[in-house]
Structure 1
């Protein structure tokens, strides 16, 4: 292989490989040419070319989620790096280690009217775990730069040595932070011309600095928490977004079998057990105005695990009926979602439970049994209601989620998609992901495709129409495996807005909120070589699903059309149905 003549480019490639980064997503450009040439031909690197930088960053996020290690994205200078921001914000709030390496113009060309230049330093400030602003090699300088630095050979060598030391330290810190904090970092690398020159041997040999993975084990506070836990008869564990297999089975079984504990899990938690309460809104929406039931519901102790919570209802109730004690367990960060956080245990959850359960004792309680009866009643009402309604989003999700194959990877789009999924059972063998860090509609398709490229299992994306069309450049991708599947639920607009307060069926609402459109995915499927099928009622959907997951020579897209003006009333009436006389 060959090496860039630019020491900084050599240093970046060498340290990335040393830190185990072997997947790199590159968007085309000239200023990043030293990195593109170096990474794309390296035998230890899987390089991917994604033109749209926004899609490229979400594609990398999907790979990093699946690989459980950093993935790098590389772009040219100027506005290119700004297009990474949505995915970087998502990675920050979802704890995904994406490494941004942005090529930059030399400092003397910034703010002088040169093309493709912006102020790239600090561009991700507030949503990045570390920022490394590197220095241009003094040995790689243009005539202009040489004229402004009249240095003797000895001075030049000393200055280059200092620059190399600075760059090595900063790159090491950035890459180590990506692993230690499990989140995004930004490395900004200035390159001057010439950019394309290569050489047979490396000229620098960077020092690799070791990782420092530490846990903050607060033994006394864990013991105190165990004492409080052992004396409380109403305890709630609420699990937000978690990667699959985060919590060891022996610990969640202890929680599942404790009569004083209700475990509320969301679809995104990847924790499924018959003894858990996994349909949060179905459980609590009918009681939100019932003061006596809220008294029964309010926990003494609330333990939260994982990331963002989807259910707005559980947030609203626990903010109003705050527990006496709220503890959050997470390795990286905490959010005081319910405004009553007592303590943040910054520790691996399994290690916490290992120390915690050694100090707890069982206590008798009717807390879970009371709500278990209600859970069973809710499920019966759920089944009765679905049998009597017409084909809508709700019926479509019943059919889709009820026929999922086992052992697949499921990606959910945001907004209505993930909320409908919260109302149904999903097989425990299915690994589930959703971009809930920022909960945006952008990037769902790109993230799912990134996952599919590196996953051993089949990957399915279920998404809504606005999210799909917004991220349609995700399909401009030469790496999509033929077993990748998309189910697009097309209700001709932002249907989620129809269940929110406000005047419906007005020109203002239709244009600026629901954003009604006539588009279908047919032409996109043809352009990007997907097998394309449609369904518009229960029978055609069931028929399409029978063969949808079978082997094929091309990826598949199933577009499900639902009635735009009926979906909201079906969902609103669904929750009303739980309060009707039985």
Structure 2
């Protein structure tokens, strides 16, 4: 077995192994060589080499998203670490566990003009659960030099002091590493280990010199205070309008029996976002189809007495605007981590899982006689019929393309969506309920969607499809510089020659200023990127071509595939805005 000689590197690697961190995403460098040597020579770990640190971090995020367990990132010192920041922020707001391990220069080389140095300790302090700033190992040469001298009492004391200091540093580092990784496990978010190394960096040994103490992570209890649960039961049983809104969630986190009970209660409306991964024929997906056409009377009829929310951030701007204006009497949020007061009326945060909460609430409640759900069910059916009529009659645009694309995705596969128009278009459709759907909605950035999707594809046996806008895809094109991409990975790029989402927003369209600084007009394609990175490339510019290409797009291949769909940018916004008028 090969190990790095530096004890601190051994300590980091052993504690990662003890806590089950198997996937290690390494960006090449010199200062992180002791860590790279240790991780890459141990068969327990699956190590990946990704040159671009920003892509590496989102790739790791995609792995952690799927496995729901920490993935480690390892980089050299200096600006390399800063490139992790977008993914760190996404992990922070999306509750995804990442362990960032940055190599650093010794403290005496910081701030003196030495190469590749920045102030690394606490660099993520506003978007991190914990920062462990580890201490440099005391050099063996410093103690060995004293031990070789004639033994005098004063020197003996000095040697004892040095040995004690060495042990104290080791204990400090072990404690900090244990604490950081345990927080990532317990709170499901990013933590940072800043690890200083002095040269020489590449020395190897065949036996470990340290055996760090392993402090296990403690599981967080799910219990709900009896008085809180009792009040929830009373309020639930006496409310004729209850709305449940579910944001980003992993699949299969709520048992079907509780969903079935909610579906039978006529006083309950369950709104599900595409990223909620919650499906039931009695629930209300495609929220904006319901919300967008409403007038003041409609909003008052929809206004709930109790709003119960689960999951992560909400995509729909329309339901956020509605609930902020027509606030419920009570808003409860159920989560093990945090509660966002998204609608400015949060008055109850219960720290447990949604499944546990429903298992305690629903057996002690009774359906309330109400026409709340049935009234909105009738509207849902009308909206669905008009949706179908409108899609059939429009010309080929983004909206029409999404209709074909979403129908073609294979059952029981994974769909990754980029920000920002892509996920919003997807929200307008009733997506195949066998799919698992993901999107980086923590910060809603376009910067790492492709890298995240590739990380997801690597971590799962299920086929993964990414649907991306052109700007998001081009922005993250280095994501394709990755030797681990599975052959069954698929990318569909909607190329409308710019940031089409801005045409839907208020502004002066079709001016030079708008086209340059808002929409970002371009004439780029993915063709040459596909040739460079080994993707099979195809295009479609109308409905017939698209349907034809999709017929074989998911067939087996010896390389991943990308389908670029070109849509007319000048009418996409008009078609979408008219959609909401038509379904009213």
TM-score > 0.5, shorter chain as reference: yes
3-state SS of 1:358 partner? helix
Cross-structure match for 2:462: 457
Q: Take 1:500 and 1:214, find their aligned partners in 2: how far apart are those partners? A: 43
Question: Structure 1 residue aligned with 2:206, among 187, 200, 207?
Answer: 200
Question: Structure 2 residue aligned with 1:184, among 180, 190, 199?
Answer: 190
Cross-structure match for 2:360: 355
Between stretches 216-225 and 445-454, larger displacement belongs to 216-225
On the 8 A contact 1:334/1:344 being kept in 2, the answer is yes
CA positional deviation for 1:272: 1.4
Cross-structure match for 2:400: 395
CA positional deviation for 1:131: 0.8
Cross-structure match for 2:114: 114
Q: Take 2:492 and 2:121, find their aligned partners in 1: how far apart are those partners? A: 40
Question: Structure 2 residue aligned with 1:237, among 229, 235, 244?
Answer: 244
- Gaps of at least 5 residues in structure 1 are none
Cross-structure match for 2:284: 277
Q: Take 1:217 and 1:485, find their aligned partners in 2: how far apart are those partners? A: 43
Q: Take 1:445 and 1:243, find their aligned partners in 2: how far apart are those partners? A: 19
Between stretches 213-222 and 81-90, larger displacement belongs to 213-222
On the 8 A contact 2:3/2:41 being kept in 1, the answer is no
1:430-469 map, 5 Å: 430-469=435-474
CA positional deviation for 1:359: 2.1
Answering whether residue 94 of structure 2 is matched by residue 88 of structure 1, we say no
Cross-structure match for 1:518: 523
Q: Take 1:270 and 1:35, find their aligned partners in 2: how far apart are those partners? A: 37
Cross-structure match for 1:258: 265
CA positional deviation for 1:217: 2.4
CA positional deviation for 1:142: 8.7
Q: Take 1:347 and 1:390, find their aligned partners in 2: how far apart are those partners? A: 48
Runs (4+) of structure 1 moved beyond 4 Å? 140-143
3-state SS of 2:99 partner? strand
Do the aligned partners of residues 47 and 388 (structure 1) sit closer, same or farther apart at CA in structure 2, a change above 3 Å counting? same
Answering whether residue 256 of structure 2 is matched by residue 249 of structure 1, we say yes
On the 8 A contact 1:142/1:193 being kept in 2, the answer is no
Cross-structure match for 2:560: 555
On the 8 A contact 2:61/2:71 being kept in 1, the answer is yes
Answering whether residue 431 of structure 2 is matched by residue 429 of structure 1, we say no
Cross-structure match for 2:513: 508
For these two proteins, the number of residue pairs brought into alignment is: 574
Cross-structure match for 2:573: 568
Q: Take 1:535 and 1:232, find their aligned partners in 2: how far apart are those partners? A: 51
Cross-structure match for 1:69: 69
CA positional deviation for 1:68: 1.3
Q: Take 1:185 and 1:142, find their aligned partners in 2: how far apart are those partners? A: 32
3-state SS of 2:16 partner? helix
On the 8 A contact 2:337/2:351 being kept in 1, the answer is yes
On the 8 A contact 1:223/1:359 being kept in 2, the answer is no
1:105-504 map, 5 Å: 105-139=105-139, 152-215=158-221, 217-287=224-294, 290-504=295-509
3-state SS of 1:309 partner? coil
3-state SS of 2:498 partner? coil
Provide Cα deviations, 1:52-76, integer angstroms capped at 9, x if missing partner. 0000000000000111110000000
Q: Take 1:549 and 1:331, find their aligned partners in 2: how far apart are those partners? A: 38
Provide Cα deviations, 1:20-53, integer angstroms capped at 9, x if missing partner. 0011000011000000010011110100000000
On the 8 A contact 1:140/1:192 being kept in 2, the answer is no
CA positional deviation for 1:153: 2.3
CA positional deviation for 1:219: 2.2
Q: Take 2:509 and 2:141, find their aligned partners in 1: how far apart are those partners? A: 62
Q: Take 1:211 and 1:217, find their aligned partners in 2: how far apart are those partners? A: 21
TM-score, with structure 1 as normaliser: 0.97
CA positional deviation for 1:151: 8.9
Q: Take 1:161 and 1:555, find their aligned partners in 2: how far apart are those partners? A: 51
Do the aligned partners of residues 151 and 197 (structure 1) sit closer, same or farther apart at CA in structure 2, a change above 3 Å counting? farther
On the 8 A contact 2:286/2:428 being kept in 1, the answer is yes
CA positional deviation for 1:152: 2.9
CA positional deviation for 1:3: 1.2
On the 8 A contact 1:73/1:101 being kept in 2, the answer is yes
Cross-structure match for 1:537: 542
Provide Cα deviations, 1:533-563, integer angstroms capped at 9, x if missing partner. 0000000000000010111000000000000
Cross-structure match for 1:17: 17
On the 8 A contact 2:24/2:73 being kept in 1, the answer is yes
CA positional deviation for 1:452: 0.6
- Gaps of at least 5 residues in structure 2 are 147-155
Provide Cα deviations, 1:309-344, integer angstroms capped at 9, x if missing partner. 000000001000000010000111110000000111
Q: Take 1:141 and 1:117, find their aligned partners in 2: how far apart are those partners? A: 25
Answering whether residue 8 of structure 2 is matched by residue 2 of structure 1, we say no
Q: Take 1:489 and 1:141, find their aligned partners in 2: how far apart are those partners? A: 60
Q: Take 1:135 and 1:124, find their aligned partners in 2: how far apart are those partners? A: 18
Q: Take 2:561 and 2:127, find their aligned partners in 1: how far apart are those partners? A: 35
Q: Take 1:140 and 1:33, find their aligned partners in 2: how far apart are those partners? A: 19
CA positional deviation for 1:467: 0.2
